[in-house]
Structure 1
Amino acid sequence: MRGEAGLLADLDALAIPFTAHEHAAVFTVAESDAVHAAMPGAHTKNLFLKDKGGAFWLVTVPSDARVHLKALPAAIGCKHVSFGKAEDMERLLGITPGSVTPLAAINAAPGSIAVVIDAMLSDADPVNVHPLRNTATLGLAGTAILDLLRHWGHEPLVAAIPVQA
């Protein structure tokens, strides 16, 4: 697992600009709202899911989105999804609940997980995500997140994620 050091090395090697913010640990979107209030840009939440076929999915959406989980499978091309287990998250992504981020794909073998980015985030700049721990936030362009995912051997799916009204 390459971890945060590998992430920072890749950001440097690919000349991807970012801003880094250290902060108290946050475990929920509600906790992060206060911490992130001073950080410009889009804020995210991430869902670690498993479909009926056993495939794992990492879905990143705007922090205020209430994802319509019953409609989500049709939008991303799978059957029924449920939340993945913490031990699968740690095994596949090397992170624990509360630290979920699309950047954890650095630790995932290509093909072991499908990474989905909400279409609104793919063009946003900056997009604020954790650098594999919940005590910091990195702000970088949505296109840079997609570039990193491809660099690590993942072909991200950009999709309009269905939300509840």
Structure 2
Amino acid sequence: MTERQQQLLEQTIGLFNRAEIPYSSWQHRPILNFETDAEVAKELGWTAEPTKSLFLKFKDGRHCLLFTHRDARLNSKAIKQLMGKRPSVCGDQEMQQLLGCTPGAVGPFALPESIPLILDPRLLHYPELMFTPGPPEITFAFATSGLISLTEELPNPVLWLEESCGKTPVTAQPVAY
């Protein structure tokens, strides 16, 4: 784990502690693609919904991060409605320079303060979410009911996509902690 990845992990743990949101975490072999993610999830018996964090850029130099379900597709039109410009996925080198994350392991909660976090409201339909907090060998899971409390603790601008911007998720079941 790099020094920057350790900082991202500590920032994420601090956020969960400040928001008083319980979470589970696992250390495992690095996950940098969907195939390894599926293998590790099966090995460890994960039941939380997988997410992805897409780091996006705009021609005017701005950036944002979209936190969505792993299987969701980027809806550029919906992002344009929020941000005023059509986004593209940021390249690995630029993303690493700005965030300090390994490609494939971008966390949604330890961003520079100027970068807006865009949330896909379809995430709220799932009982539990999992994500990588920066280091690709660590995964967090938490009850989705804590998502809004987490975002209220962030210094970043937080925006929500329109509810109708994609496929309908599965019906949520309550999760006990």
**Shorter-normalised TM range:** 0.7 to 0.9
The residue number in structure 1 matching 2:71 is: 64
Partner residue of 2:32 out of 27, 32, 36: 27
- Alignment length (residue pairs): 159
Cα distance change on mapping 1:142 and 1:75 into 2, 3 Å: farther
Partner residue of 2:91 out of 85, 89, 112: 85
The residue number in structure 1 matching 2:161 is: 159
Cα distance change on mapping 1:142 and 1:88 into 2, 3 Å: farther
Encode CA deviations 1:36-60: one digit per residue, 9 max, x unaligned.
Answer: 2421121111211101222101111
> TM-score, normalization: structure 2?
0.76
* Uncovered stretches (5+) of structure 1, i.e. residues with no partner: none
Residue 117 of structure 1 deviates from its aligned partner by 1.3
Q: Distance in 1 between matches of 2:51 and 2:90?
A: 18
Partner residue of 1:147 out of 146, 149, 157: 149
Cα distance change on mapping 1:160 and 1:27 into 2, 3 Å: farther
Considering only aligned residues, what root-mean-square deviation do their CA atoms show, in Å?
Answer: 2.4
The residue number in structure 1 matching 2:47 is: 40
Q: Distance in 2 between matches of 1:115 and 1:3?
A: 16
Range with bigger deviation, 43-52 or 86-95: 86-95
Q: Which amino acid aligns with 1:44?
A: T
SS at match of 1:11: helix
Retained in 1: the 8 A contact 2:109–2:154? Answer: no
Residue 75 of structure 1 deviates from its aligned partner by 4.4
Retained in 2: the 8 A contact 1:127–1:139? Answer: yes
Q: Distance in 1 between matches of 2:16 and 2:80?
A: 33
Q: Which amino acid aligns with 1:113?
A: I
The residue number in structure 1 matching 2:62 is: 55
Q: Distance in 2 between matches of 1:146 and 1:93?
A: 23
Residue 143 of structure 1 deviates from its aligned partner by 4.5
The residue number in structure 2 matching 1:130 is: 132
Residue 123 of structure 1 deviates from its aligned partner by 4.8
Cα distance change on mapping 1:87 and 1:148 into 2, 3 Å: farther
> TM-score, normalization: structure 1?
0.80
Q: Which amino acid aligns with 1:128?
A: M
SS at match of 1:74: helix
Aligned-pair identity in percent equals: 23
* Uncovered stretches (5+) of structure 2, i.e. residues with no partner: 168-177
